[in-house]
Amino acid sequence: MTTVPPTAAAPLVDPFGRTVSYLRVSVTDRCDLRCVYCMAEDMSFLPKAEVLTLEEIDRVCSAFVKLGTRKLRLTGGEPLVRKGIHELIHSLGRHVKAGDLDELTLTTNGTMLFKYAGDLVEAGVRRINVSLDTLDPHKFQAITRWGRLDKVLGGLQAAKEAGLQVKINTVALKGVNDDEFHRLVGWCGEQGFDLTFIEVMPMGEIGDEARLDQYLPLSLVRAELAKRWTLDEIDYRTGGPARYVRVAETGGRIGFITPLTHNFCESCNRVRLTCTGTLYMCLGQEDAADLRTPLRLSDDDGLLVQAVRDAIARKPKGHDFIIDRRHQGPAVPRHMSVTGG
């Protein structure tokens, strides 16, 4: 029987035997865009008093690292709009440099990359995900409600020049960007970017937009891509839920994230921390744990660590996402920007 040395913390293992080694942290619920599948146009954001300080986020993340977390992703909202975010990223980078963390990365909409790309590399970030659903400037503005494509493309160029590996995340939207999938595959191949398609997720009220009208199964997307591209199965994983193929014509990789048509729960190694200190053990379930209270009750991490372990002991087997005519409201009432993308 293997015993854990007294100086090492026992790893986080859920009731189904899955080791939890990946923490996604929403550092803010705020964003400088209002993508139609993610947010309502007139979003109400959290009062600053409810949001964890950057020092508190650092402390929680560091506690998770001591408990065996090997991958840490910063998300939002848009993480790079958080004031002082570069200080947090540099501070967390110490775990990468010490060998205690395999990867520190983030998901961004790309609007601030022109400013932060160099800082990210200096802090130890090597790979980022950039949300981009179209290469058409007018369509980009319509999807984001007021964004500028040229600003994002400039940020992507800055990321390339800084040496960051880029993966483009594209939400497949029926009747919106389904005429651009081949173009996106070719463009990503030219740029040296990986590309991941994502099914729209039923989270949060988004105003007049109907998710059923937006929803496009990725099985159809893949079938369409196969008409033009040779998609070879590969055994490639990044620690997340995507399943990848390689495009023979470009050499690039395409991932598919399918929370609706084929969920990825059986291998889930992830939990999500909101900017208020709420830990969600599953993206598609409402059960959550309050980490802010134990965090603030003591300068010692004992209460915090126990709260984390208690939460992991409640991690469910999987989510219950569904989109159909009988379920007009979101499957989960909170917005993705609150939980962390």
Annotated binding-site residues read 24, 31, 35, 37-38, 73, 77, 107, 131, 167, 201, 265, 268, 270-272, 282
Beta bridge partners of 257: 198
Report the binding-site residues for GTP: 24, 73, 107, 167, 270-272
Residue 171 φ/ψ, nearest 5 degrees: -80, 125
> Residue 65 is encoded by which pair of tokens?
């690292």
- Residue 75, C-beta contacts closer than 8 angstroms, at least 6 positions apart: 24, 25, 26, 27, 106, 107, 340, 341
Report the binding-site residues for [4Fe-4S] cluster: 31, 35, 38, 265, 268, 282
> Residue 217 is encoded by which pair of tokens?
């199964």
Report the binding-site residues for S-adenosyl-L-methionine: 37, 77, 131, 201
Residue 68 φ/ψ, nearest 5 degrees: 105, 5
> Residue 23 is encoded by which pair of tokens?
């923490």
Our measurement of the distance from residue 144's CA atom to the centroid of its chain's CA atoms, rounded to an integer in Å, reads 18
The 10 Å CB-count burial string (b at 16+, else e) for 234-252 is eeeebebbbbbbbbeebeb
Determine whether 197 is exposed, middle or buried from the number of CB atoms within 10 Å of its CB (0-12, 13-18, 19+).
buried
CA-based nearest residue to 281, from 314, 240, 242: 314
